[in-house]
Structure 1
Amino acid sequence: MKTPTPPQQQQQQQLILFHHPKQPHSRLFILFFLSFFTFAFLFTLLSTSAPSQTQAAAASSNPIPAALSSALLHYASSNSTLSPPHLSLPELSSFLSSLLPCSPSCNLLVFGITHESLLFSSLNHAGLSVFLDESEPLSTRLERDSPPGTRLEAYDLSYTTRVSHLPRLLRIAREESSGECRPVQDLLFSECPVAINDLPNHLYHVPWDVILIDGPRGYDDDSPGRMSAVFTAAVLARSKGSGDRPTQVMVHECEREVERVSSEEFLCAENLVEKVGSLARFSVPPAEAGSWAFCRQRGNETASLEEEDDGEE
């Protein structure tokens, strides 16, 4: 009969086995096994949660565009105190929703260069993005810093209007609504004082999908004001072909008098889609054949403006 091994001796034998000379190799094997198991588990989890093999293959063959990755790096490294967002998150969401029907290859025109300009062009990374600004250095820098392959153009623009000119310009626009200030025309040859007719020629013939008006300055009487930008955007939208979809025109700081009155006069209350914060979004369709009016019915507030020249020529 075999004598049982005392419990203490068993524990000692187990301890000797635990400190086997090949311990480092055992630990490496265990580490490798755990790593492989973790990787396999995560891979299985991600694979089963993927919508489809087709979508997964499409994602792997379409890496993040250079413009978008550059924008992400730009905002990730920006100091939010030194470079605060110009538009709020709800306003940016409204802008994004206007891009969705044609994204990522829209024809996007933006009046004003701001902290979000790179983001705007990145969201439209396969389309044409054009920025117009009073500042030549800002325009030059934006084009210089845009990622290679991006269809981004930036131009400096000199405005001849002033905020204080609004009543006189509004009066002239109404008097010439079937002439020089008509809603359907080639602005390159326009003599309307509220029109912008000195842009690069090719921009007047682009069927713009989205136009954002966030410039020029308009915070005092001597600022250029945005009445010319609003009028020009309205004409570009109304002059598109009859089969083209409406142009989404957004006006920032729409609560100010110039922006509000100009929008009511040229973009029209019946075209207002939504107002989010200080951003008003209009869906402006091409003009109907034989139409010489911007709006079917003019707002009461616009009609009641006093027609004053304030001593300005």
Structure 2
Amino acid sequence: MPPEEPLSYPLNSPLLHILSPKSSLNLTLPQKKSFLKMSLTKRKSILILVFILVIASLIRVLRITITTSYFPNVVSSSMDHDLITTRSNVSDKTLSEKELTFLSDIILQKSPCNLLVFGLEDQYLKLPTINKGGATVFLEDKPEKLMKMKGNGDGVQVFRIRYKTSAKEAYKLLKHARRDSSCSVRRLTSKCKIAVTGFPKEVLKIKWDVIVVDGPGGDGPESPGRMGAIYMAGVLARSGNGTNVVVHDVDRMIEKWFSWEFLSEKNLVSSKGKFWNFKIGQRKKLVSLKRS
């Protein structure tokens, strides 16, 4: 058997080139450059992504700021400021078909009945027909709207009401009503600053079956606001026997807060669109409004 010979390779063997330190350095240097290039690319990508997220966040904050500037604001009591409604609904006073059907169904369930409406929008001109045979009374503060009901027929009356408040005073009036016992919805006195004085005696004496609150205007800080109308509706409803009080525009802060305060959320029985329907049971007999 031939003797074993040690492995030997020529000096120019490819294996030596592979194992040589110089060759190894030539192979790893491009890899290092490639790795460094990838790291820089990733870093740039992260920076770009962060920049995009920052810009998106700024746009979102700007959009929220612009949007919320149109909604009602409740100013802190420490500033003793007013709750105002800054969202304008001047161009959106039309009831949707579902809202009109909702209101009509409530009236039809009790028709013929005693129907009191705060506000005189065009679509409400149909209500006396829906309440045929009943008594329908409209309370409106704008003289030009009062002319719409002239010659409408028997059982319909229209009275002008003057409101001395403004929507910007809502927060202050709400604080007053909460701490002053004269603002109880179980009786009506002129001491309560939120009470609407000068009400027709006919309105105060009637037991109302349905009361609709969609007036006066409440779409700006200088408008009368519906604080007094909702309060009066709450007082009048408690002299009836299961009176339905239907409040419109409850997407606005004043309508929502004053409905909770004087009609009570526990009495809310149904809703549709911007309408809330409260059912209020019979309470103590209404005390006539007297000057102190």
Q: Name the TM tier (shorter chain).
A: 0.5 to 0.7
Is the CA contact 1:84–1:115 (under 8 Å) kept in the aligned structure 2? no
The aligned amino acid for 2:127 is F
Structure 2 partner of 1:95: 103
Structure 1 partner of 2:113: 106
The aligned amino acid for 2:102 is S
Structure 2 partner of 1:74: none
Residue 173 of structure 2 corresponds to residue 169 of structure 1:
yes
Shift of 1:267: 0.8
Residue 271 of structure 2 corresponds to residue 275 of structure 1:
yes
Shift of 1:288: 6.9
The aligned amino acid for 1:120 is L
1:44-63 matches, cutoff 5 A: none
Structure 2 partner of 1:157: 161
The aligned amino acid for 1:108 is L
Is the CA contact 1:112–1:215 (under 8 Å) kept in the aligned structure 2? yes
Against the structure 1 CA distance between its residues 151 and 288, is the aligned structure 2 distance closer, same or farther, given a 3 Å change threshold?
Answer: closer
The aligned amino acid for 1:180 is S
Cα deviation, 1:157-209, whole Å, max 9, x if unaligned, reads: 11111111111111111112xx3211122x3x532111112111121010000
Is the CA contact 2:108–2:130 (under 8 Å) kept in the aligned structure 1? no
Residue 133 of structure 2 corresponds to residue 126 of structure 1:
yes
Is the CA contact 2:185–2:234 (under 8 Å) kept in the aligned structure 1? yes
Rg larger in 1 or in 2?
2
Counterparts of 2:284 and 2:224 in 1: how far apart (Å)?
32
Cα deviation, 1:241-265, whole Å, max 9, x if unaligned, reads: xxx2x11111111010100000111
Is the CA contact 1:142–1:154 (under 8 Å) kept in the aligned structure 2? no
SS in 2 for 1:197: coil
Is the CA contact 2:186–2:284 (under 8 Å) kept in the aligned structure 1? no
5+ residue gaps, structure 2: 1-90, 286-292
5+ residue gaps, structure 1: 1-82, 290-313
Task: Give the structure, 1 or 2, with the largest relative contact order (CA under 8 Å, sep 6 or more).
Answer: 2
Moved over 6 A (4+): none
SS in 2 for 1:153: strand
Counterparts of 1:251 and 1:85 in 2: how far apart (Å)?
14
Say which of 183, 186, 206 aligns to 1:184: 186
Counterparts of 2:183 and 2:168 in 1: how far apart (Å)?
20
Structure 2 partner of 1:221: 221
The aligned amino acid for 2:213 is I
1:189-208 matches, cutoff 5 A: 189-208=189-208
Counterparts of 1:253 and 1:203 in 2: how far apart (Å)?
24
Is the CA contact 2:139–2:158 (under 8 Å) kept in the aligned structure 1? yes
Aligned residue pair count? 195
Structure 1 partner of 2:262: 266
SS in 1 for 2:246: strand
Identical residues among aligned pairs (%): 34
Structure 2 partner of 1:145: 151
Counterparts of 1:256 and 1:287 in 2: how far apart (Å)?
29
Structure 2 partner of 1:75: none
Q: TM-score, normalised by structure 2?
A: 0.63
Against the structure 1 CA distance between its residues 260 and 85, is the aligned structure 2 distance closer, same or farther, given a 3 Å change threshold?
Answer: closer
CA RMSD in angstroms comes to 1.9
Counterparts of 1:276 and 1:102 in 2: how far apart (Å)?
19
Against the structure 1 CA distance between its residues 170 and 84, is the aligned structure 2 distance closer, same or farther, given a 3 Å change threshold?
Answer: closer
Is the CA contact 1:250–1:280 (under 8 Å) kept in the aligned structure 2? yes
1:7-26 matches, cutoff 5 A: none
Counterparts of 1:163 and 1:114 in 2: how far apart (Å)?
20
Structure 2 partner of 1:135: 142
Counterparts of 1:170 and 1:281 in 2: how far apart (Å)?
21
